[in-house]
Amino acid sequence: MKRREGPWTILGAVLIIAWALAPVVWIISLSLKAGDDINNNKFWPTKFSTENYETVFNTPLFTSALRNSIGISLLATALSVAIATVAAYAIARLDFPGKKTVLSIALAIAMFPAVSLVGPLFNIWRSVGLYDTWLGLIIPYMSFTLPLSLWTLSAFFREIPWEMEEAAQMDGATPWQAFRKVIVPLAAPGVFTAAILAFFFAWNDFVFGISLTSTDAARPVPAALAFFTGASQFQQPAGAISAAAVVVTIPVVVLVLLFQKKIVAGLTNGAVKG
Amino acid sequence: MNVEAPPGPDAPRKALASDRAVSERRLGWKLVAPAVFMMLLVTAYPMMNALYLSLFSYRLTDPAGKEFVGLRNYAVVLGDSLWWQDVFTTVTITVITVVVELILGFAFAMVMHKIVFGKREVRTSILIPYGIITVVSAFAWRYAFALDSGFVNEWFNLGDKSWFGERWSSLAVISLSEIWKTTPFISLLLLAGLAQVPDVLQEAAQIDGASWSQRLTKVTLPNMKAAILVAVLFRTLDAYRLFDNVFIMTSGAQRTETVSFLAYRQMISRTALGLGSAVSVLLFLSVLLIAAGFIKGFKVDLSQVRGG
């Protein structure tokens, strides 16, 4: 059957784009409203203002939260992708009993309700001094970034023609050369995709962020947003919260624009085998 | 999923050199050990701790009053109508959002499957809700419906309708935010499923004179059953943990509290670690029950799941 676009497909595509972007446009529009405009009950501002952006960038609560979010998410992503790469390599490449069990454990843990971990971690972290620290969030973040990376990477690594490494060695390459020149370029896209997906999840976390932090020493942006009350108690926080929300959405949009194909592949790369 | 490594070129030699197999096995275990250790450290250990704490009457504000009470915390939770109200709220939202997402996601997948021109634009747009922070989505929808900053009442001539002043309208907005954010995931999984349906079958059905709806129900859907079940299982378990949207929009007011929110409130806000742990354990058990139900009831073959 030829795939031809009927008018319905085109209409559908337009509707999907509108549906996906409308709330984003709305929060951008709200962030550009100032003063009475915020409560004008209209979609668009009557005049555009960058006042809310000035407010959030002059609010230490937000700037420190932004720093925390970036640092914690990147570290949690890097650590889990590193550990998962080694494990996924072993699962794809080596023959040993129990590798199916490892993947099942990862799947079970990915389905774990985060809230179930919050209470005990709150209790343990307070006694070992990890409460309200970066490490105190990085470790729990790995409860979802690590299984996710492991699954994504094992799916990718299964497709790699590992024999090429040996072929290169037969052609006279040293094992290290063969690995660096043949395997690394083949594995890199998978590792990169796993990192993007893990970063999205870490960036999105709210449950651990509000439960395991109490000051701006480690509080990430989503948690800070929930506690944000505006520059003064007389100021309506909706504008400032929207501006902050737009700022933290920028990295997501940039990653999606640059790596759309990789993300789709990572989510569905044989996610379902027919 | 076929997790067996493809037989390497040295497979036949392995039977002879069994010490090589042993060293390969050792290396394999060594390489997966850090991942397994970390995964268990961050989940199994806290879960054991929760199991232990759930047997005590223990509030952080009164550490001296810590006392072993056996299963009494569970009896308190299960005997409280609040628990059942929260379970009902959670199950209702889960069912509604997953059903709507499945229908909407399937429609999206059909469009994305057919489209050629603008394919990149559609996929890029759809990934934005997927990647956006749930809390940001919650604020966007909350402000859109709020009495002071919202435009929805104005657009639809609803006057002063207070969306967050009543239970079901609050839950409707919470569900909308949830549906907006997570439909992309379902639609991409279904798109991958659609790609698995052989074009030959579609053509044959068309030649045999099958109508569009016949082709949909007799050819397309049965051939992507695995994709649908996996998408539904993943989303159901995810929806059951609903927390962020409720926190931002209502903080559990107007009887919109979910099970996750109850656990959080008991543990962190009330610091009732014993009772809160019991709620956590029950939440975990319900997730386990749903997963087991799916795998047994619908014969979801998790070995077919990869990634995601």
Pull the structure tokens for residue B295: 């795998």
Nearest to B39 among A86, A115, A147 (CB): A147
- Judge: A117–B140 Cβ closer than 8 Å, yes or no: no
**Interchain proximity A17–B230, CB inside 8 Å:** no
What is the least distance, in Å, from the CA of A67 to any CA of chain B?
16
* Fold classification of A75-218 (topology level): MetI-like fold (1.10.3720)
Q: Which of A21, A119, A150 sits opposite B35 (nearest CB)?
A: A150
In this predicted structure, what is the pLDDT of residue B300? 64
d(CA A144, CA A150): 10
If you count residue pairs, one on A and one on B, with CB atoms under 8 Å apart, how many are there? Answer: 363
How far, in whole angstroms, is CA A241 from its chain's centroid? 20
Interchain pair B35, A252: CB under 8 A: no
- DSSP label of A173: -
What ipTM did this prediction achieve? 0.91
Where do the domains of chain B lie, and which CATH numbers do they carry?
Answer: 82-304 (1.10.3720.10)
| Contacting B residues, span 142-201, partner chain A, CB-CB under 8 Å | 143-144, 146, 148-151, 153-155, 180, 184-185, 188-189, 191-193, 196-197, 199
Substitution target from B87, B112, B122, B127 for chain A, most A beta carbons within 10 A:
B127
Do A98 and A164 touch, CB atoms closer than 8 A?
no
Both tokens assigned to B174: 């919470």
Assess contact for A193 and A156: CB atoms under 8 A. Answer: yes
The pairing of beta strand B56-59 with beta strand B62-68: antiparallel
End-to-end Cα, chain A, rounded Å: 19
With beta carbons under 8 A apart, name residues in chain B contacting A23: 129, 137, 140-141, 144, 180
| pLDDT on residue B306 | 43
Q: Kindly provide the b/e burial profile for residues B120-137, where b requires at least 16 CB atoms within 10 angstroms of the residue's own CB.
A: eebbbbbbbbbbbbbbbb
Asked if B99 and B181 count as a contact pair (C-beta separation under 8 A), the reply is: no
**A78 inside 8 A of chain B by CB:** no
d(CA B129, CA B141): 12
- Tokens representing A14 are 């337009």
Residue B189: C-alpha distances to residues A65, A119, B33, B106, B138 (Å): 33, 33, 31, 9, 24
Query: What is the SS3 assignment for A27?
Result: helix
- Which residues in chain B touch residue A190, judged by CB atoms under 8 angstroms apart? none
Q: Name, in order, each residue with C-beta under 8 angstroms of B288's C-beta and a sequence gap of 6 or more.
A: none
Amino acid present at B90: T
Partner-chain contact A111 B287, CB within 8 Å = yes
pLDDT average, residue stretch B128-143:
95
Band the pLDDT of A38: cuts 50, 70, 90: confident
Q: Bridge-partner residues for B67, per DSSP?
A: B57
CA dihedral in degrees (A24, A30, A33, A34; nearest 10)? -130
Instruction: Yes or no: say if A125 and B58 are a contact pair by the CB < 8 Å rule.
Output: no
Q: Which of A111, A207, A143, A28 shows the shortest CA–CA distance to B46?
A: A143
Cβ contact, residue pair A43, B192, below 8 Å:
no
**DSSP track, A118-141:** HHHHHHHHHHHT-TTSHHHHHHHH
Task: Say yes or no: A36 contacts chain B, CB-CB below 8 A.
Answer: no
> How far is the C-alpha of A149 from the C-alpha of A266, rounded, in Å?
10
* Residue to substitute from A4, A14, A16, A95, interface B, most B β-carbons within 10 A: A16
| Distance from C-alpha of A9 to C-alpha of B231, rounded to nearest angstrom | 23
Interior angle at CA B128, CA B127 and CA B134, nearest 5 = 115
Whether B283 and chain A come into contact, CB under 8 Å, resolves to yes
| For chain B, percent of residues with pLDDT exceeding 70 | 91
Instruction: Specify the pLDDT at position B270.
Output: 86
CA dist., res. A69 & res. A71, Å (int): 6
Which tens digits make up the pLDDT trace of B231-247?
898 899 999 999 999 99
- The span from the first CA to the last CA of chain B, in angstroms, equals 14
Mutate to test the interface with A, among B135, B199, B302 (most CBs of A within 10 A): B135
Q: Exposed (0-12), middle (13-18) or buried (19+): which is A195, by Cβ within 10 Å?
A: buried
Instruction: Write the pLDDT tens digit of every residue in A164-208.
Output: 888 888 888 888 888 888 888 888 989 999 999 999 999 999 999
**In this predicted model, what pLDDT tens digit does every residue of A115-172 receive, in sequence order?**
889 888 988 999 999 999 999 999 999 999 999 999 889 888 888 888 888 888 888 8
- Say if the Cβ atoms of B305 and A30 lie within 8 Å: no
Type and span of the H or E element at A87 = helix A60-93
The verdict on a CB contact (< 8 Å) between B29 and A93 is no
CA distance A40 to B32: 57
Closest Cβ opposite residue B118 in set A13, A207, A268: A13
Q: Are B263 and A116 inside 8 Å of each other by CB?
A: yes
pLDDT the model gives residue A236: 61
pLDDT at position B5: 47
